Structure 1
Amino acid sequence: MITRRRFFLLLPAYTASAQSLFRKKQLAPPPPTRVFVGTDTAKGVSKGIYHCTFNSVTGQLTVPVLVARTLRPSYLALSPLRTGRRSLYAVNAVPDPSATVTTFDLDPRTGVLTEKSKVTSAGAGPAYISVDSTGHAAFVANYFGGTIASYKIQPDGTLSQPVDTFDYKEARFGHHGPVPGRQDTTHPHSVMVSPDDRFLLVNDLGNDALSVFHIDRMTAKLTPAEPLLTTLRPGSGPRHIAFHPNGRWIYLVNELDSTLDHLLWTTTHSSAHPQGLLVNTNTTVKTIAPDFPVAKNTASEVMISPDGNFLYASNRGEDTLVVFSIADDGSLKEIQRISCGGKTPRHFTFDPTFRWILCGNQDSASITIFRRDEGTGKLMGPLQSAPVDSPLFLLFA
């Protein structure tokens, strides 16, 4: 039996016990994350792929150090984890038909890259590589060669020789745009795998068009969809796309006229005749300020926050990062325009926590760090500038 006196004597112990029961468990901070930086070796300073670590608690990036010598690794991609190992793929973006794609083994403990193989990119100037989420197939866009290619990913993580190659100089892929010097020929700029791994979407900057292929994941063979092409405004120069988390909206950044387009994406569920369809909503917004000359800017990258509420884009020339809110109908409204903290922001990326954005400034030899407010979407910074010459691409791994 607990007397009144004993109750008051035990009360502090009960209180402490209850507080400890309901106290939030203190989570250990996430460890620093590896970042790989592809650079422009044609400038004569950078030598290949650099490695650094990022602390997602403090937002600090270590000074990048060379981890792999390779020619002009302008775009990087990772394979899914297999038996505790991953492969890192780099396109070697030299403007020559002998251009290659290099496979590296990624040591999960040290971050060391070991070159395993090289295969032809099937065209000059490879600008983009993507890998499906199952790790069976990879795809490359060759900007100067005017081709795209597909590859099987072999059990050891290396790429096969090209399985399929498509030449975008063929009439079925459209006609050149009106911008001299930039659209005198076709220029496939990106190859993006759809979220369900069933389709490949190709941006052709030279022909102002997007094309769609069905992917056979086991063989890496590509089948042109019907219709094949979605044409855009003449002179727009489609560069990259980002899928909204709902899987139904696509946002396209156009390099030449510095705009964003909103497209609708639908697919059939038929396994016998799968089809993917793009519909242009004809709603376009500028990435640059109204008074900034279009001829002095090229838009470069587009990304969407994981909650689907905000879109981010970069401008080379105006040298800005721009933040848009995404409405319930998919329309965009600019909410912030901020200096990139350098010159020529070719590529930027979220860190794995989505609380930070890292921006590679190609012509000011720097990576700038911005804090992202997850509620408002707005950016603060740059809070740090890390030195690395001619950064072209940033990859967390």
Structure 2
Amino acid sequence: MSTRRRFIVSFSAFAASARAIADWPIRKKKLLPPTPVHVYFGTDTNKGVSKGIYQSTFDPTKGQLTPPVLAAATGRPSFLAVSPPGPGRRSVYAVNAINDPAATVTTFTLDPTSGSLHQSGQVPSGGAGPAYVSVDSTGHAAFVADYVGSAIASYRIQPDGTLSQPVGRLDFKDHKKFGALGPVSSRQDNPHPHCVTISPDDRFLLVCDLGTDHICVFYIHPETGELSDPHLFTNDRPGCGPRHVAFHPNGRWVYCINEIDSTIDRCLWTATQYSDTPQGLLVNANFSIKTIAADFPASKNTAAELAISPDGYFLYASNRGEDSLVVFSIRAKDGNLTEVQRIPCGGKTPRHFTLDPTAEWLICGNQDSANVTVFKRDTVTGKLSGPTQTVSIDSPLFTLFV
């Protein structure tokens, strides 16, 4: 038989439990604001002002960069990559884009607290004018495109984060293997590999060759990092000058920005899963769109960079000449693009831009106006507003968030 005391104790416990259940949906922990992150700018040291890689801190709650300071003196670091997160310290890789066959790739060890860079290695790039470096998501292999030297090189990443000597080098002047040159003799005088983009599954390498109008697809040997013979893709539009590619988050669509004719193509991507000789293939989706306004002279513009929002709804591109940033929506049913916005970049010659880790801001490096501009991004509409901040830095060529 229940006593009054037992009833009071039982009722109190029930009431406390009921309050806890009632309060549970409301008592979620508040999300902490994103913390400031390190940002690195590669610059053009050939002009005698910049000295190498500059470091800043970006506050994503305010969209503010601190004044850049020199992080590492190195020759013309035009493109940067960072090793994936892991138990040890991370490494930053910079191509030294000098027009000399003895050009190099330099490795820097990153201090996670201060963000300082310490040179830990340097190896040959495999040719003159290296323009791109990429690292696979496992941190085992790296690749470099030598724009002037008409070659690409592959590397193993050693336990200390430095690069091995090149384990493979492919000369794109082998026209039987890589195709004939395009028709624009002033720009397509030689093969010009402009990017080495790794597929999301780390199995394939896509190389845009501005000189032959091809995208070359290679299988990456998982043990050695060496490359197979290429499969060549063309959009059947000679003189377009492919520069960079980006994979859509769905892994099925690949977008290519073409430098010479200022266009973006959409391609379909497929790859064999079970084969002794895996193949990755691009298929022409017969979709192309201009990056410049209809009334802007194509001869006065070169398209530069493209990036896709993490949600896959928007694509961004930059134009050197029109000096603009362009926002395209990505149609969910087929991946085709529709222009949403065209906005001045806030400077001159926007060679490279990138979204910050929150994807709420876009940072644009304007090579010929000695500044970096910050834009606020509306994650619903995709549109940009700004510049909300303009920071002085001489000849910015690349922006890397770490």
TM norm structure 2: 0.93
Correspondent of 1:352 among 347, 357, 361: 357
Q: Following the alignment from structure 1 to structure 2, what is the Cα–Cα distance between the partners of residues 151 and 91?
A: 13
Change beyond 3 A, Cα 1:30–1:273: same
SS across alignment from 2:399: strand
Change beyond 3 A, Cα 1:26–1:185: same
Change beyond 3 A, Cα 1:294–1:228: closer
Counterpart in the other structure of 1:138:
142
One-letter amino acid of the structure 2 residue matched with residue 366 of structure 1: N
Cα distance, 1:230 vs structure 2? 3.3
Matches within 5 A, 1:360-371: 360-371=365-376
Counterpart in the other structure of 1:105:
109
Cα distance, 1:217 vs structure 2? 2.5
Q: Does 1:373 align with 2:369?
A: no
Contact kept, 8 Å, 1:70 with 1:92, in 2: the verdict is: yes
Q: For structure 1, which runs of at least 5 residues remain unmatched after alignment?
A: none
Counterpart in the other structure of 1:66:
70
Contact kept, 8 Å, 2:45 with 2:51, in 1: the verdict is: yes
SS across alignment from 2:118: strand
Counterpart in the other structure of 2:303:
299
Q: For structure 2, which runs of at least 5 residues remain unmatched after alignment?
A: 6-10
Correspondent of 2:80 among 64, 76, 83: 76
Counterpart in the other structure of 2:273:
269
Contact kept, 8 Å, 1:84 with 1:108, in 2: the verdict is: no
Contact kept, 8 Å, 2:42 with 2:396, in 1: the verdict is: yes
Cα distance, 1:82 vs structure 2? 3.4
Cα distance, 1:386 vs structure 2? 0.8
Q: Does 1:318 align with 2:322?
A: yes
Q: Does 1:149 align with 2:153?
A: yes
Q: Following the alignment from structure 2 to structure 1, what is the Cα–Cα distance between the partners of residues 274 and 28?
A: 48
Correspondent of 1:121 among 105, 118, 125: 125
SS across alignment from 2:299: helix
Cα distance, 1:270 vs structure 2? 1.9
Cα distance, 1:375 vs structure 2? 0.7
Matches within 5 A, 1:38-49: 38-49=42-53
Q: Does 1:234 align with 2:248?
A: no
Contact kept, 8 Å, 1:137 with 1:218, in 2: the verdict is: no
Contact kept, 8 Å, 2:214 with 2:232, in 1: the verdict is: no
Counterpart in the other structure of 2:223:
218
Change beyond 3 A, Cα 1:15–1:251: same
Counterpart in the other structure of 2:8:
none
Moved over 4 A (4+): 14-21
One-letter amino acid of the structure 2 residue matched with residue 389 of structure 1: D
Q: Does 1:247 align with 2:251?
A: yes
Correspondent of 1:330 among 335, 338, 341: 335
Contact kept, 8 Å, 2:80 with 2:93, in 1: the verdict is: yes
Q: CA RMSD in A?
A: 1.9
Contact kept, 8 Å, 1:136 with 1:218, in 2: the verdict is: no
Correspondent of 2:59 among 55, 61, 66: 55
Cα distance, 1:271 vs structure 2? 4.2
Q: Following the alignment from structure 1 to structure 2, what is the Cα–Cα distance between the partners of residues 183 and 153?
A: 33
Contact kept, 8 Å, 1:250 with 1:262, in 2: the verdict is: yes
SS across alignment from 1:262: strand
Counterpart in the other structure of 1:183:
188
Cα distance, 1:15 vs structure 2? 8.6
Q: Following the alignment from structure 2 to structure 1, what is the Cα–Cα distance between the partners of residues 277 and 338?
A: 38
Q: Following the alignment from structure 1 to structure 2, what is the Cα–Cα distance between the partners of residues 111 and 218?
A: 32
Q: Following the alignment from structure 2 to structure 1, what is the Cα–Cα distance between the partners of residues 125 and 400?
A: 20
Cα distance, 1:21 vs structure 2? 6.5
Q: Deviations over 1:150-207 (max 9, x none)?
A: 0000111110111111100101211111113211111000010000000000000011
SS across alignment from 1:222: coil
Q: Does 1:287 align with 2:295?
A: no
SS across alignment from 1:190: coil
Q: Following the alignment from structure 2 to structure 1, what is the Cα–Cα distance between the partners of residues 327 and 34?
A: 27
Q: Following the alignment from structure 2 to structure 1, what is the Cα–Cα distance between the partners of residues 161 and 32?
A: 33
Q: Does 1:209 align with 2:214?
A: yes
One-letter amino acid of the structure 2 residue matched with residue 92 of structure 1: N
SS across alignment from 2:84: coil
Cα distance, 1:269 vs structure 2? 0.5
One-letter amino acid of the structure 1 residue matched with residue 319 of structure 2: N
75-84 vs 352-361, which moves further: 75-84
Aligned length: 388
353-362 vs 173-182, which moves further: 173-182
TM norm structure 1: 0.94
Counterpart in the other structure of 1:166:
170
Change beyond 3 A, Cα 1:21–1:233: closer
